[in-house]
Amino acid sequence: MLIQLLITLLAVVAFIGVVRRFIRGAVSRLGLFVWVIFWIAMGALVWNPNVTNSVAGFLGVGRGADAVLYVSIVVLFYTVFRLYGKSENLEHQLNELVKKIALKDIDKDK
């Protein structure tokens, strides 16, 4: 029961945080939609864990908790992969920008 309350509290705080970030313009409408659905689902699943057992049966996993763990690991690895790609892209863009600024400074000195 305590874990359900703690996870629900976390979901509510995260939900409010996402809405605030959307209001400030830091989250897109799609991002808002995805995160709101995620946190509502998280809060609902914590109070009705039998749903995860049904999903586990569909996925061919023994327990709902195992299914949640497996799916979470896959999603986390995908997220790390995406963030790594974005980081590499930003590094490339930064290098190009530094080169352009350096070449401009060389032209000014001549």
Same domain, 13 and 38: yes
Same domain, 34 and 74: no
Could you list the residue range(s) of the whole structural domain that residue 35 is in? 1-48
What stretches of 24-63 show up as alpha helix (H) in DSSP? 29-47, 50-59
- Least confident interval from 39-43, 101-105, 106-110: 106-110
Same domain, 78 and 105: yes
User: Is residue 38 one of the residues assigned to a domain?
Assistant: yes
Same domain, 43 and 69: no
Same domain, 110 and 78: yes
For residue 103, report the phi and psi dihedrals to the nearest 5 degrees. Answer: -65, -35
Instruction: Compute the C-alpha angle 45/69/3, nearest 5°.
Output: 45
Provide the number of structural domains found in the chain.
Answer: 2
CA-to-CA distance for 99 and 60, rounded, in angstroms?
53
Question: Looking at residues 36-51, what average pLDDT do you find?
Answer: 91
57-82 pLDDT, tens digit each: 998 998 998 998 999 999 999 999 99
10-39 pLDDT, tens digit each: 999 999 999 999 999 999 999 999 999 999
